[in-house]
Each structure stands twice: as structure tokens, then as C-alpha cells.
Amino acid sequence: MTKHEYIREMHKRHACLFEYSDFIKDTDISKIEITDDSVVITIRAKDIKLICDKKDERNIPIEILNFGSYEEEILAMVMKLIDNNHTVLDIGSNIGWYTINISKSKRDDIKIFSFEPIPKTFKYLQQNLHLNDISNVKAFNFGFSSEEKDVIFYYHEECSANASLANISEANNVEKIVCRVRKMDNFVNEYNLKVDFIKCDVEGAELFVFQGGIETIRKDKPIIFSEMLRKWTAKFDYNPNAIIRLLSEIGYRCFVATGERLTEFFAMDEETLETNFFFLHAEKHELKINSLMT
């Protein structure tokens, strides 16, 4: 083609840059930066920067680009429940969405420990922490379970958030990666921690995390925020109600976020739509429960 034809065709290709400028106006995204080796999306509320994974279709910044926001209601409740000076465990931190939001929430002296077993995802977590100048987070490249051992994780690069001890994505091109898992109780004792808040999202294996941390939970009575999906837990031969029973035996009540309030939740059945749950100890968190319940 001639030079003039080339310029005209390239102008058509570049038009998408201006389309994105209009597209993000109604989303939580304030900026998209194209650098030499990455695409970085900036979230409006806390000026959070996140690196996009070129191959990951469900990467959180891409989710926000697709749907305008990401778990707004749940994140707002997490912020209501975390206080100054809290020690937070982010188990299954992925690229650091909750870790970074909590870190930048302006609460005083929060300490955050983030755990991500998949090496590639852990690298993105580290890069995002650096990109956002986060200094109150310690990140660890291992997961938690009921035992300390090396295990096989199933990793699908087109949806990294589905990395799990079972092949929950059932993708044909899933990759098997050997990663380390530890018991939460051992880690907490090793670092001499008093835990105030636990976020746990490990794609169906949440029960095993809590079993490996039951002494910590019994002793410190932290607020717990956990994902629970029937389709994921079925891969591990248990029902999410097993988690509700385990924690209720040591004094916890289960809730779901309804707007800015908490609604008590008792048991999951086939009609349950909620996937994110909060566990508060009936005695220790009585004031929070009373102030937030519908």
C-alpha cells in the first residue's frame, strides 16, 4: 500500500484509543496506561494501579473494564469491619485487590499478610504492591491448608483466579504446578501474631484452611470473610454448610452483606445465590453485629 493508505488504515486501528476514553467514563476506571511492557489500569476511588495480564480473561482490572466495578458492596463491608491496628491475613490474595484496598484505606497501623501460592500470580501481586507504594504488607508465595506439604495446583492462565487444588475450571489446557501449603496455626505461631481479620478465597478449599487454623480462630476470634460456592466445594466432597457448622461450634454467626448492612445467614441450599460470607463471633463482635444487622 502507499504511505497515505497506510496512514489511513493505521488511523482506523488507533481509533480504539479514543473509544476507550469514552468507554471508561461510566466505570470505576480513571486511567489506562500503555507502557513499554504492560497495560496499567488505575481505579478511581483510591487511585489504585493494577497491571493487566494479557492472557487472563477474568483478571480483576479487566473485570472492572467489562462490568464497571468489582465487588463494591462486599469491599465496602470489609472496610466497615476492619479497624485501626488490625492484623489481616489475605489468604488467596491473587493480584492483591483486597490487600491493596485495605492497605490504602487510611486506617492506622494495619498489618497485612498476603498469601498467593501460584508463582506467576504472586509476581503480579508483588508488582502491584510496588506500583502502589505499599509498605505495610508482607507477601508470601505459599498457600494454606490443613497440612504442611507440597501439593499440585491446577492453574488456567485464562482465568488465574480459578487456580485451585482441584481442576475446577475443567479446562483442557490447565497447567499443573507444585506449590507449598502451610497450616495457618503454624504460621501465626511462627510470627507471633494476633489475628483480627481473615479473608479467605481459595476456590473451594476454604474448609481445609480453617481446619488448619482452628486454634488461631478459637484463640483470637478474628472476623472472617470467606467465599463459599457449592460448585467449588463439591470438587472437594463437602458442602459449604460444613464451614458454617465448624465456625458455629466455636461461637461464630454467619452473615451476608445486604447493601450497607449485615443479614444473618443460617444454611446454604440449592436456592442460595450469595457467594461471599462474613463470620463474626457472637460475643467478641456483639457491638459490630448489633450496629450492622438489618
Q: Which amino acid does the sequence have at 214? A: I
Domain boundaries, the chain: 3-67, 72-292
* Closest to 220 in 3D by CA, of 256, 257, 191, 181: 191
Rounded to whole angstroms, the Cα distance separating 266 from 282 reads 14
Rounded to whole angstroms, the Cα distance separating 196 from 145 reads 19
C-beta neighbour count of 64 within 10 angstroms: 21
294 residues of the chain, pLDDT tens digit each? 999 999 999 999 999 999 999 999 989 999 999 988 899 999 998 899 999 999 999 999 999 999 999 999 999 999 999 999 999 999 999 999 999 999 998 777 999 999 999 999 999 999 999 999 998 999 999 999 999 999 999 998 888 888 999 988 887 788 999 999 999 999 999 999 999 999 999 999 999 999 999 999 999 999 999 999 999 999 999 999 999 999 999 999 999 999 899 999 999 999 999 999 999 999 999 999 999 997
pTM: 0.94
Class of domain 72-292: alpha beta
